[in-house]
Every structure is written in C-alpha cells, then in structure tokens.
Chain A
Amino acid sequence: MALLALAAIGVPLAGAVLMIGPGRHSRRAAAAIVVVATAVTAGLCLLLAAHAGAAPPAGLTLIQLVPPMPIALRVDAMGALFALTVALLGVLATLHALVWLREDRRYWQYHAVLLLCMGLMLLVAFAANLITLLVGYELFSLAAFVLIVHQRSPKAFAAGFKYLAYILPASALTLIGTVLLVFHFGSIEFMPGGVLDRAIPPAAYVAWICLVLGFGVKAALFPLHGWVPDAHPAAPAPFSAVLSGVMVATGSFAMLRVLFELFGPAALGQMGVMPWLGTAAGVGVILAGVLALGEDDLKRRLAWSTISQMGYVLLAASLLDTQALAGALAHLANHAFIKGGLFFCAGAFIFSAGVHKVSELGGLAWRMPLTAVVLTVLSLALIGVPPLSGFVGKWMMGGAMAADGALLPLSVLLLGSLLAALYLWPVLAAIWSPAEDNAAVEPPARGGGDPPRLMCLALAGSALFSLLFGLAAVVTGYPLGLAVRAAAVLTGGATP
C-alpha cells in the first residue's frame, strides 16, 4: 500500500523529469506525458483512497537522515482524501492548461513545475512525520513561486515577491516550531490523538503559535492572507485554480495534521488555544467576503472568496468536534473542485473573450453558454445550495456547531454563505443579462464562443464533480465517507 503511495509520488516527479527532456521539443509529446502522468497518478490515488479506510495505515520508511528524522510515508484516510483531491484537480487543471498554453513557448516549464508541485503535494499528503511533511511543503512553496511568476510580467513578479516575503518567514517559523516539538515532545511522528504522553510543557504554546503562524500563511488565515489576492490573479489561470483549490488546502491540511496528530485534541483542549484560531478564521471569513464585494477583477474576487471559504475549515476545526472536523475535511475537498472550476471559467473568459473584469462581463452567457452554465452551477455550489457539493460540508459543520451550542461560529458560517451570494450575484447577473443590453460590445478577436474542447472538458468535469459529490455524497464514498472516517480517527484516536 505504501509502495503505491511511493509510486503516486514518483509518477509526477518522473513526468516532470521527462518533460524537461523529451517534452521540451514537441508539444504533442509534452501533452502526452503530462496527461498520462496525471491520469496514472489519479488512478493510483483512487486505489489508495478506496483502501485507505479499510486497512490500518501502512507505513514505509524511505530514508533515515538522522535517527529521529526519517523520511517516511503513511497512507491513512485523511492523507488519501487530500491526495485524491490533488490528483483529480491536477487532471482537470492539466486539461485546462493544454489549451491555455497553446501560444506559450515555455509550456514545458509550466508542465514540468506543475508535475513537480503535484508530486510534492502528494508527499505532503502521505507524510508520516513532520519532517517529511516539511520537506514536501517547503519545496512546494518554492516551486509554486516559479509558477506564479510564469508570465514574467512586472505584475507577476510583484505578486511573486510578495508571496515570497510571506512564505519565507513562515518557513522559518515552521522550522522553529518543529525544532521545539522535537526537543519537547520527543517525537514528531504523526499519531492519531497526539504524541504527547506527559504534561504539556510551556514550550508547547510557543510551538503552537509558531506552527499555526507558519502554516497559516499558506492556509490564508487572517491576518496572514495578504499574498492571496495578489498571487492568485497573477498566476496563469489553470495554476490559479490549483493555487486556490489545493495549495491553500495544503496549508490547512498541514495545520490539521500537526494540530490533531502531534498535539492531539486532548492536549489542545487543555491548552485552550483553539478559540484564538477559530476567532482569527471567523474574522477572515467575514472580512474576505466583504472585501470581495469591492473587487472588479474577477480572479481577484475569486481569490478573496478562497480566503473566506478556507476560513471555514479552520473555524470548524477549532471546535475540536468530530462532526465539525468531518465537515471541514469534506469542505476542503469539495471547495477544491468548486473554486478550481470557477477559476477555470475565469480563465475561459480571459481566453475566449479577453474579459478580466466583472464590469465587462455583460451578456457573455449568450455567446459562451457552456461556460456560463458551469459558472452558474459552481456559484450555486459555492453558496451552499443543496443538493450540490458545497452544501455537504456546510451541513455537517453547521450541525456540529448547532449541537455544541456554538451560535457565533454558526452565524459566521451562514453569514459567509450570504456574502458568497452577494459577491457572486453580480457576476451571474452580468453574464446572464440580455443580449440587447450588451449589443455595443463587439466579440473579441478569438471568436468569443465557448473555449476549445479540452478546456470545456475541464469545466464540465468540475461542474460534474460538484454535482456528483453533493447529490450522491454517500454513494461515492469520497469526499464525505473518507472525511467522516478521517475525522473519527483524528479526534477519537480509534483504530483507523
């Protein structure tokens, strides 16, 4: 099982290497390599997810750097959930990118680094201890910089440097936190229920702050979210989707791993620090939603929306409740496809119609019907309308909050939904406004119709996933089933 995980990590990395070689010269070879790599990875991750809950987590130690810090892999429910999300979104993003990079000569660089990023994210997903996670995490942060500045424009560089300015101190903080944990907890191996078997040392608080701040930058936790609204629009559209969908989720995933499998819910409850995290996350949800209303650039608006939605995950996790955590994990996975799909639509608008701003979106639905329908479905999913997938996570999180009597997080959850409707409504109203009102707008150079088939396939895929994972949430087993199992393990310490 762990060998499969190793393979799942290795395939994208091998694909990246191949891309630098044969993929450089021929577009067709590059397309073949990247499609095969992502498809094989997705298949492997599907297999892993199917077996993840059934058997105890299988471990595999790869390298022992220094005795307390091996590079080891482990397949469990939460990791498999995240890995499958990354892999599936990677497939869709690749399809989108194959069209997006049609006129880009550095396409092979993009594909290579994207495959590298995928491999590193899978390493993060299957990490068995904090060192392995950090190796994947830090390398991934740096690789993401390369893709953010792919277009090499001044705006992209500015966004990329801002991203680095946030991420490098965060790396330092995570390293400090890790060192503190090694010396005070004794072990940094992920154990459900936490590794602490004695009284909580005072350094644990410092370590907690360091790790939360360190991972919180990537997880777009308020007030460390400043890089998101600049970096996500500056990156090329398919990578924006990956950024918003899984990169921010990587930060949340790493934070949840560390909080629940190193500190453990019992220790966290004793320390009494989780309400602070919840407050920060809640403020982020509302503030980001409000600020999204004022953004005219569509991708920037969606970037603020990402900050708002991912705040839910940490808000729910701060309750230390099983059902809330299950809802948070399910929301993490569902949001990846919803937000990824929304960024795919934004990319389609830029590609086909040259439209970046919401104010220029008038009447596009009549020229690009498939894109508009997908955008509508995904917007409804983001708002949380049943039976689409966004509703699943919200129902579980809301139910847990209501059961605990936590009325303030519940109102934040619902207010976030209302704000999502408020900032998505102008987009929908604009694209569906009648053609007569927008007759003055001429169709742009590229014909202005629906984008080429591969891009439409990516769009339709994300809409289908959000419909499927909502309507048949219990049938598919992913993400709801896996999330429930993962939450039970993380909070109960039960045998997985």
Chain B
Amino acid sequence: MTRPGEASVLLALIVLWPMLAAGIAALWQATVRKGFNLLVVAATAVTLVGVAALVPAVLAESRVVASLPGLLGSVEFAADRFSLLFALAASLVWFCASLYATAYMRDDPGGARFQAISLVLLSTTLGVFLAGDFLTLFVFFEALGLTGLLFVLHEGSARARRAAVKYFWMTFVGGVALLAGILLLAGQTGSSAMTPLTQAADPALVGLALLLMLVGFGVKAGMLPLHVWLPDAHSVAPTPASAVLSGVMIKAGAYGVFRCLGLLSAPDATAGFGQALAALQQQAGMLVAWLGIAGMLVGVVFALGQHQAKRMLAWHSVSQMGFVLTGLGVGAWLGAEGALGTGGGLMHVVNHALFKACLFLGVGAVMVAAGTGDMYRLGGLWRRMPVTLGLMLVAAAGIAGVPLFNGFVSKCMIHHALVEAAGQPGGESFVLAEWLYFAACVGTAASFIKLIGLVFLSHPREQSSVPVHEAPKAMLWAMLLLAVPIVLLGVRPDLLIEPLMIGGVVGAAQDAATLNHYLDAYFLSPADLRSSLLMLLGGLALFVAGMRLGLFHLRIPQRIGVDYWYRAAGRALLTGCRYLSKTAAVGRGVVTRRFLAMVAAGQRMLALTRADRPRLQAWGASARLPEDALYAHLDRQRDAVIREAGQRARALAGYSLSTHECLQDRARHYAGWLGTRLIHGGLRMEHGPAMQLAASADCRLQLAELAVQLAEAETRHGEPQSGAGESVVARADRLLESLLDLPAEKREPVNRKGWRELRSILIHLATDPGVRHWPASENLAQGAFATQLRRAASRLAHDPGFGLALAGVVMIVLFLAMLYGSRGM
C-alpha cells in the first residue's frame, strides 16, 4: 500500500524510467555487450511491476497526480482508473514484445538500436496514458509519433521509406490539427486540463476544437478516413514493432478520443452551457460511432483481400479500432446511460492489445520459421509448430469472438450498447449500425478461419526447402504470457471490469448499473451465445464461399480509397507551391529580361539615331511627303526584310533559349532600321528604279543577311561590330549605296553650336514626319490633318509672341490661385 507522496513519485518514475533505461542500454551496448537483452527485458519488467504497484494507490484515491517543473509551466502526470487500464495493457504487451525481440532480432545488426528505441517509445506511450493535462499529452503524443517513425524505418528498404513518409506526413498533419484543437480548447475554457468542461465563451468554437482534436487523435487511432498509413507502416515494421504498434500505439489515439468525449460529460456545467454540451456530446458520439462502423467494415473487407499475413493483421487493426470507436461513440451518445458502450470500448482496447499482439508475434514466428508471410504459400504447419498453432488459436478465438475468450465479452458489450441506442429516440440509424456490426463480426471470423486454416491446417502449397522448426522458447513464452489473460478475461471479465471500470465510470458521471447488469444478466446468456454461434457459422460459410468462388482475390480500384486522393492532394500542393515559386523566379527573370531588352533596344535606337542625324536632317530639308504608291511598296519591302531576317535568325542554332529570343529581336530591329533607310533612300530615287528596288528579292535577302550578321555580332560581342571593325552605319551605308542609285547630294554640315540651332534641331526632330525613326517610323504615312496640326504647332512654337502670351497667362492664373487660396484659409 503506497502512501500518496510515494505514489506521485512512482507515477513520475514510471514514465521517465524507460527513457533512462534506453540511455543506459545504449551505453551498455557500446561498452559491455553481454547481457544486453537481459537488461532490456528487465527494464520492461520493472516498468510492468511499477504500473502494477500503482494500482492499489489509484483504487484507493481514484486519482494520483505528479507534477514536474519544466516546459511552459509544469509537466503534469495523472493516473486514474482508465489511464491505468491502458498503462497496464501497454506494459504487458511491451514486456512480451521485448522478450520476443530478443529471439527475433538475434540476426539483425540493428537489433540493439531497435531495443533502445523501443524503450524510448514505451516511455512516450506511458507519458500519453499518464498525462495530466492536454499540453503534456500533446508533448508525449508528438514524441510518440516521431519516435515511431524510427520503428517504421527500421528495415531501411525503399518500401519502408515510402511507408515512413506517409506515416510522417499523416502524423504531422494530425499533430497540427491536434495542436489547433488544444489551443482552441485552452483558449476558450482557460485551461488545458482533462476534466469535464464547465464553462466556455463560445460553444461553437468548443465544437470546432473537439473536431480538430478528433482528427488529431483519429490519425493515430486509425480512424476512417485517416487510416491509410496504418497498413503500410504496420506491415513494413519488424514483427515485435508491429505488435507494439498495433497493440499499444494506436491505443494512444483511442485514449485521446476517449478523453475528448469525456470532456463533454458535463456534471457541473452551468445551465446554458450544459445544454450546448449535451448537444455536442450527442453529435460527437454519433460521429465517432459511425466512423467506427465504417472503419469496421472497410478494415474487414480489405483484410479479407490480403494474402500477406502481416498486412491482413494490420487491416484488422483498423477494423478492431473501429469496434473500439463504435463502443466509445455509442457510450457518449447515450450519455449517462452509456457505461456499457464506453466500458465495452475500453475493454476491447485491452483485449485487442492482447490478442493482436499475440497474433503478430505468432505470424512473426511463422515468418521466421518458414521464410514467408504469404498465406497462400504456407500450409500444413500444424505438424511442425503445434505450440504456435495452439497459442494462435487462442488469440484467433479471442478476436473472432468465441465465447469464453475475451473478445466475446467486449463485443457483446458493444452490441448491447448498440441495441440500447437503437431503442432510444433519435437512434434509428443504429438499427442499421447493428446489422453492419454483425456483418463485420462475420467477416472477422471468416478472416481468421482463413488465417489459421491456410497457414496451419491446410495441405502445404509449396514444398519448402528449409526445415521448419518450432519457434524459439522466448517467442513462445511471450505469446503464452499474452494468451493467458485472453482466456482469463474471457472466463472472468469481472476481474477487469469491477475494479477498473465501475469505479471509473462512476467518476465520469455515468451510471454503472448497466455494467453490473451486464455482468449479472447478459454474460454468457443464451441469447448472446446464440448470436455468437450464428456469427461463427456465418464466418465459416463466408470463408468457404470465398475460397471456392475466389472472392478474396477481387481487387478494388485504387480511386475508391482515400489513399489515392491524399497522395493526389499532396502532389497537387507541392506542384502548386513549386509553380508559384517558379513563376516568381521566372517572373523576375522574364520581367528583368524584357526590361533589359527594352533598355538595350532604346540604347541601340539612340546610338543609331545619333549617327544618322546629319543625314536625316539633310534629307528632311528636301523630303517629299510619302503619299504615293512608292512608299507603300517600299514599306512592304521593309516588312519582307524584317520577316526574312526573323526567319534567318530563328534558323540559327547553338544559342540558349533566352539568347535566341534576344537574337531574333535584335535581328528584327536591325532589319527594321535597314528597311527604313531603304525607304528613305528609295524615296529619293527616281520612281522607276525605286519600284524595282521595292520588288527586288536580292535586295531583301542582302538586307536581311546584314541584319542577322549585325545581330549575331551584337549578341556575341555585346556591340554590333562588323568583321572589319567598321561601324554599323558605315557598313549599312556601303550596302545601301550598292543597292540604291542615288543622285549625289550635298551634305551640309550642321552647326550644332548655338541655342537657335539646337532648338531648330529639336523641333525638327520632334515635328518633321520624315525624321520619325523606327519603330515609330511605321507612322511615316500620316494623315493630312495630323500633318497640318503638326505644322501649326511648329509655327506656334517658332513664334516668340505666342510664347510670351502663354507665359503671361500662366502667371496670371497662378497669382489668382494664390490669392483665392490664401483668402480661403
């Protein structure tokens, strides 16, 4: 009998000891090799003993708390009856798994690392079960998820890595949802304690918080539709890891769901909030129950289609967790009378831990002995592995719900709760649920008849070259230690229900009478035995039909499952993000490139214009307005030159994509410039030769060729040099002179000095249409009206009187504005 203070210390120690032991084990393995296995098994045994020692204290005080300073305030531990239920099951399964692993990991180089990680995981799992408030629970929950990743990765194969990636992301997103829910809950109610809610500011937010927490816990519990990581992860981990993953770690999720639903039981809530809570409880209970039923069915259907034994067992974990969630959900829905449902769900947690772990260990023993886990390739092992067969029969009977085994008790409890709920107003949907429940039980029975039948009892399919021995002693002892409680709890369920549950449900404001009633009236009653027999017969029939008709080999298309859609969503998210950042990067590049190209084109234009200015001024003085057909033909020729240059530039090879674009742009620019000079020259020629020039293909090709050469030279050297170092203008001059047939002209030197000359140059450039250069030279053919306007503006600009008058008007306006403005202030 431990005293209160001692119990607190024991509680904290139970959680922290395995982590310490992991450190010691790692050091031990690094230094002293011998006795490592013994150390690990002893550590888990000590944990089991510690948890068992806590039982009397909890029974006496109904809640033991411990508090350590750290984190954001204090790390709270608390043990009440339900926590102890989970913790006991966890410690027992872990002890058996460690014992098993000593034999299983004998040939595995990573065996020591596995055992050390296993101890850390035990610590985090116990931390979840024995957490005192939601913050501590969250901390240990996240640690559990992350450390479990190492279990899944143990094998190191590509399959393991894929399963680990899926596991990580689902666990992480679930963790984010859980954090959101806990933050909302803590924000609304002021504390993150796990006691039933009494007051909150906004019930809608409380509902949202609960939904988020359900998502977070549901991922871990394998609740539909968040279960997709489970089959991959549990089948790829080594067998003792699968046993604890399926047996205990998913129960952490169920524990969380249980605590969330427990928040809604509202014994001391204020009046208005109490009603809101009752409504929430109903909704939450219905949701969890139906998700559980869906999980039951989906799990069984997929399990029946598997041929790998471990994967089949993993799908059955989804199914059995569906049973648990159904029980918890119905219990919550029934509210104060829901003790049977909640009790059934919790008992199924313990039962499932026991028989699923035993099943995994047995399958692992078969895999080690026979070398394969494919049920369709095994057979006839009953002769060589009788003890394994016997123990697996016990576990299979447990999970199938054979009377006198523990599964029968919990399944009947949940069934009774469903029947009761179906009879309540508002519970009509539970009638359907009952039928679905029965179907799931039939499927489970069929599946396990298939397992035992195919693996042990049937004729061997293949002749295995390896002689099959019975499993090693350690493995058999581990399975035996799990099989004994299976039978014990089946025959005497009150050993578990009375101390740990009845007191607990009373504390949770539920009526324990239903539980007592069940133990007295319904346990092993004829009605229950009849329905159980019916179920087993149905299972047998399904098995036979399935094997005969090949039903178990039907494949369901991938798109029906949520797995496909999760992966598609993940891919879409990543693609979207990458597209956005590529767009940003490309956007930066494209915009910069365009900007730089514009700047370069402008600089080119300026340079050429400057070089051309003397010639253009000379021409401007004697320009004919381009109104006749000659201009149109020359313009068409210029367009053709531009097109030709563009085509030639496009045909060039050896440039990167962006450079090639620049090259084509440049070639077209140069072609345009040359074309414009052609027009200027052609307009000064005699009409006949000019028309010939406008139609000459040879002229076009030469100009295009020059344009492309100039563009290439600019691209390669950065400036448009020609081969002999002569300037662009000179080269163009040479070509055009050869093409054009111009009368000699006098080139008047332009006197740039003096403001008058500058002004006349500027006005000339701005107003004379002939001087307008490419690319605006497309506007050479101006309408008469625009020309007249331009002439008028030019005249006005030349007129000093008009300028003075304009300046005077502007000054008067400003003066008046100042006058009135200051008056207004």
Contacts and interface: CB of A to CB of B under 8 A. Distances in A.
B172 A421 contact: yes
A201 interface: no
Contact of B173 (A293, A386, A418): A418
A294 interface: yes
A474 B581 contact: no
Interface of A: 290-295, 380, 385-387, 392, 395-396, 398-405, 407, 410-411, 414, 417-418, 421-422, 425, 429, 434, 470-475, 480
Given A402-B187, A471-B71, A380 B179 contact: no
A403 B182 CA distance: 11
Interface in B177-193: 179-180, 183-188, 190
Contact of A385 (B135, B142, B180): B142
Given A403-B188, A480-B72, A386 B142 contact: yes
Nearest to B212: A414
Given A291-B584, A380-B146, A422-B577, A410 B183 contact: yes
B577 A290 contact: yes
A399 B581 contact: no
A473 B577 contact: no
A295 B585 CA distance: 9
B279 interface: no
A386 B156 CA distance: 26
A434 to B, nearest CB: 6
A265 B135 CA distance: 30
A398 B585 CA distance: 33
Contacts of B202: 405
Size bracket, chain B contacts: 35 or more
Contacts of A398: 179-180, 183
A294 B582 contact: yes
B69 A475 contact: yes
A474 B72 contact: yes
Contact of B577 (A293, A387, A400): A293
Contact of A472 (B70, B183, B205, B580): B70
A411 B69 CA distance: 30
Contact of A290 (B73, B74, B580): B580
Contacts, number: 98
A114 B135 CA distance: 41
B176 A418 contact: yes
10 contacts: A290-B581, A292-B581, A294-B577, A386-B143, A398-B180, A405-B205, A414-B176, A471-B70, A474-B69, A475-B69
B572 interface: no
Q: Is the interface of B mostly helix, strand, loop or mixed?
A: helix
**Nearest 7 A-B pairs (CB), nearest first?**
A294-B581, A402-B187, A403-B187, A386-B139, A398-B183, A293-B577, A402-B183
Nearest to A293: B577
A385 B138 CA distance: 10
Contacts of A480: 72
B179 A414 contact: yes
A403 B581 CA distance: 35
B607 interface: no
Contacts of B142: 385-386
A325 B186 CA distance: 18
Nearest to B157: A434
A18 to B, nearest CB: 42
Contact of B580 (A294, A385, A418, A471): A294
Contacts of A294: 577-578, 580-582, 584-585
A386 B581 contact: no
B574 interface: yes
B156 A434 contact: yes
Interface of B: 69-74, 135, 138-139, 142-143, 146, 156, 165, 168, 172-173, 176, 179-180, 183-188, 190, 201-202, 205, 573-574, 577-578, 580-582, 584-585
Contacts of A429: 165
B22 to A, nearest CB: 16
Nearest to A411: B180
A425 B190 CA distance: 34
A295 B581 contact: yes
Given A402-B183, A402-B185, A402-B205, 18 more contacts: A290-B581, A293-B574, A294-B582, A385-B142, A396-B72, A399-B183, A400-B187, A401-B187, A402-B188, A403-B187, A405-B201, A410-B180, A414-B180, A417-B179, A418-B173, A421-B172, A422-B577, A472-B71
A405 B72 CA distance: 22
A291 B580 contact: yes
Nearest to B141: A386
A418 B168 CA distance: 12
B574 A387 contact: no
B165 to A, nearest CB: 8
Contacts of B580: 290-291, 294
A475 B68 CA distance: 11
Nearest to A436: B156
Interface centre among A395, A418, A422, A473 (most CB of B within 10 A): A395
Given A294-B577, A385-B146, A386-B138, A474 B187 contact: no
Given A290-B581, A294-B582, A405-B202, A399 B146 contact: no
B154 to A, nearest CB: 13
A474 B70 contact: yes
Contacts of A421: 172
B141 to A, nearest CB: 9
A288 B582 CA distance: 13
Given A291-B580, A294-B582, A422-B574, A402 B186 contact: yes
Contacts of A400: 187
Contacts of B578: 293-294
A434 B188 CA distance: 46
B162 to A, nearest CB: 12
Contacts of B168: 425
Interface centre among B73, B165, B573, B581 (most CB of A within 10 A): B581
Contacts of A417: 176, 179
B581 A402 contact: no
A290 B573 CA distance: 10
B139 to A, nearest CB: 4
A404 B187 CA distance: 8
A386 B73 CA distance: 13
Contact of A399 (B165, B187, B205): B187
A414 B70 CA distance: 24
A487 to B, nearest CB: 14
A181 B190 CA distance: 39
Contacts of B582: 294
B568 to A, nearest CB: 16
B646 to A, nearest CB: 34
